[in-house]
Amino acid sequence: MKVFFIGAGPGDPELLTIKGQKIIKRAEIVIYAGSLINKEILNFAKDRAKIYDSSKMSLNEITKIFNKAKEKDATIARIHSGDPSLYSAIQEQIDWCEKEKIPYEVIPGVSSFSAAAAKIKQELTLPGVSQSVILTRISGRTKVPPREDIALLARAKTTMVIFLSIQEIDKVVTKLLTEYSSETPVAIIYKVSWPEEKIIQGNLSNIAQKVKEAKVTHQAIILVGEVLKKKYQKSRLYNASFTHSFRKAKK
């Protein structure tokens, strides 16, 4: 028996990893985050697989399924959206497996922030502009430690990716404006890689109004930073005059 925590990616079934797909195909039990996972991914499951929607379940109900699977030596595909290392609540499930001595493995997936950057054809770390990316969220029902308040993180003025916060876009903008200029570009992608995807672009002075006009209130990722202007120094990596361990500089 083994539990596989699988990152399903942002929505497009083709962004599911090959490894994740192989595990889903052979699993006897599939537990998926029904509020976030594209149900087309369930088409990879075999006909006899038992399928559960975890959006309607508590942790106790999920772990009861784990326990029953232990008795039957079954493989469980536990499917989360995006990449399970970010905002997925897998740690409490992992800790339970550790306590119960149930074997498990984590299969990474494509995060929505990676898919969002790809969708707008944007590198998030550009030479001379930003070499760091802050991944964060605004405080809500899940509280953010005070030291990680967006206004404090904004002091670095680096590229920032903000999850789970679109419903508080006014508050997000207010906090960002304590450090970023009003002309700082912003890109918001709603349900990236889904058929109903929306891309909203602007700057800190107008993005909140644009979001309201688009009626986007959930499942959107916010990208902020000067990198979105696409003005940068060219990388030394491919500069003919730059020597590195695989290539000598050309005169």
Q: Residue 205 burial by CB count (10 A; 0-12/13-18/19+): exposed, middle or buried?
A: middle
Q: Tell me, which fold does domain 2-107 have in CATH?
A: Cobalt-precorrin-4 Transmethylase; domain 1 (3.40.1010)
Tokens of 24: 């889903």
pLDDT digits (tens, 9 = 90+) for 51-93: 999 999 999 999 999 998 988 889 999 999 999 999 999 999 9
Residues of the chain with pLDDT under 50: none
Amino acid at 16: L
Q: What is the pTM of this model?
A: 0.91
- Note the pLDDT of residue 250: 73
What CATH homologous superfamily does 112-229 map to? Tetrapyrrole methylase, C-terminal domain (3.30.950.10)
Q: What is the pLDDT, as a whole number, of residue 238?
A: 67
Tokens of 194: 């889904």
Domain residue spans of the chain:
2-107, 112-229
Chain-centre distance for alpha carbon 227: 19
194-212 pLDDT per residue, tens: 999 999 999 999 999 999 9
